[in-house]
Structure 1
């Protein structure tokens, strides 16, 4: 059995992580999820805090019951490690709005959630934070017979470009590499980095190309170390493989779930 890389021990957090502050802090939630607190504006991206259908190797750093308030939940696509219906429903009482693609927002509305659907390229504000919906290519269901009862469109999945008072964050979502997009954006101040070697993700080589297109950008690793799936490429990435593949490997951020990361403007950011 192949060895599975595991995330560092979880650093739990509670209500103080959601309080007003003088900066922008990110916390990896495990899986593909993040909490962003930008000077008191709070949002989660792809939170999965319970109810996943595969064995989990980590302790989640926060429970929905310990979340005092979220200005928004952003969801990149409908896979259940990104759109966790149990988690989104658990957070409904403290969340002002849910944002995703038109398709996923329809699913959320069916669950009674206050959802807003967006087209690729749309922009919207969450407090003082501006969010732009970016392209993704993750319609894997169309090549997996029996995976769905509908034809998935490219615009059913997305990423998010997030502009805060303290810098930019790019959450590209799950996607195959789109060269004209993923390699040609302005340099973000933090890249939420999926490096899984899966054909419906960037692939390890594609992830390295993307990292090297922005050689000064910190890489906040996710989509690894959380699921006990050593033979399943979307979940079995190992941060050690990155050091020989990317420029400036010291920018690799192997965060523990719940560990705070303070956003800082990069000199190379555009």
Structure 2
């Protein structure tokens, strides 16, 4: 099974009251028609940290959680795993169960051609009989019209409070994905603390799947803003917010309102509803 998300600590430890959660816009359900070929690349936020990307008919899902999560949700999920007609690949950034959802990945197994992640996560997938491919940081692979490069992450939070018998987690157990399409480049950096020499020095993506919160094991709000402003033309597709009913848990509690005063060219902040289509455009 995948690991649970990093533990809720700060508010419980200090006895403080969490701030109210920002809520995502009302879900826009979608169905089989959204999996058809077209002459463009369309992204849809699935809620949580998940996205579906239809690259002119090559259909990927990144970190999909379409049911079976162990915490209450604030949103309706935009599609049921049993109604997904086909997937060319599922890309998973790391083993936390808000990214690697074993129930979802098993439900969509009959219609999914391949699964891609790090070697550690791929080993978990293989134990569940998924056709998994494990990649080192820097590896590349092709899925139909999408060319994917595996990018580094710093998210080995488990080592800060190890449980008896727990394995030692390595930085390369988590990753991001740089996805090149005929219509532009998408960067899904995954959950990570900021790595300035990497996260602030990439070529400019056209769309950045944007994780922002006060969590110490994520970019942090300041780090996320630094990253956004390093790529001032990239569309910022917000995620990891407004989905989970956990007011004391910083990773799930980013508020888009915090971004507008500090992000350069704030009109590129995209507060999508779960399931809402977004067309990728090269800048």
Tell me which of 111, 118, 121 is aligned to 2:128.
111
Displacement of 1:147 in angstroms is 8.2
Q: Which runs of 5+ in 2 are unaligned?
A: 1-16
Please give the TM-score of this superposition, normalised by the length of structure 2: 0.93
**Distance in 2 between residues matched to 1:90 and 1:147, nearest whole Å:** 31
**Distance in 2 between residues matched to 1:202 and 1:128, nearest whole Å:** 30
SS in 1 for 2:257: helix
1:101-140 to 2 correspondences below 5 Å: 101-140=118-157
SS in 2 for 1:234: helix
Paired position in structure 2 for 1:226: 243
**Distance in 1 between residues matched to 2:54 and 2:161, nearest whole Å:** 38
Deviation digits for residues 176-195 of structure 1 (CA, Å, limit 9, x no counterpart): 00000000000000000000
1:193/1:221 contact within 8 Å kept:
yes
Tell me which of 24, 37, 54 is aligned to 2:54.
37
Paired position in structure 1 for 2:39: 22
Tell me which of 184, 206, 222 is aligned to 2:201.
184
**Distance in 1 between residues matched to 2:187 and 2:65, nearest whole Å:** 19
Deviation digits for residues 136-185 of structure 1 (CA, Å, limit 9, x no counterpart): 00000000232871000000000000000100000000000000000000
Displacement of 1:231 in angstroms is 1.4
Tell me which of 87, 92, 95 is aligned to 1:75.
92
Tell me which of 228, 233, 238 is aligned to 2:255.
238
**Distance in 2 between residues matched to 1:168 and 1:66, nearest whole Å:** 28
Tell me which of 110, 118, 142 is aligned to 1:93.
110
Paired position in structure 2 for 1:160: 177
1:162/1:170 contact within 8 Å kept:
yes
1:175/1:200 contact within 8 Å kept:
yes
Paired position in structure 2 for 1:62: 79
Paired position in structure 1 for 2:160: 143
Are residue 215 (structure 1) and residue 232 (structure 2) matched? yes
1:136/1:158 contact within 8 Å kept:
yes
**Distance in 2 between residues matched to 1:41 and 1:106, nearest whole Å:** 25
Number of residue pairs aligned between Structure 1 and Structure 2: 266
Are residue 256 (structure 1) and residue 273 (structure 2) matched? yes
Deviation digits for residues 61-100 of structure 1 (CA, Å, limit 9, x no counterpart): 0011111100000000000000000000001000000000
Please give the TM-score of this superposition, normalised by the length of structure 1: 0.97
**Distance in 1 between residues matched to 2:145 and 2:99, nearest whole Å:** 25
SS in 2 for 1:220: strand
Displacement of 1:6 in angstroms is 0.8
SS in 2 for 1:106: helix
Structure 1 segments, 4+ long, off by >6 Å, are none
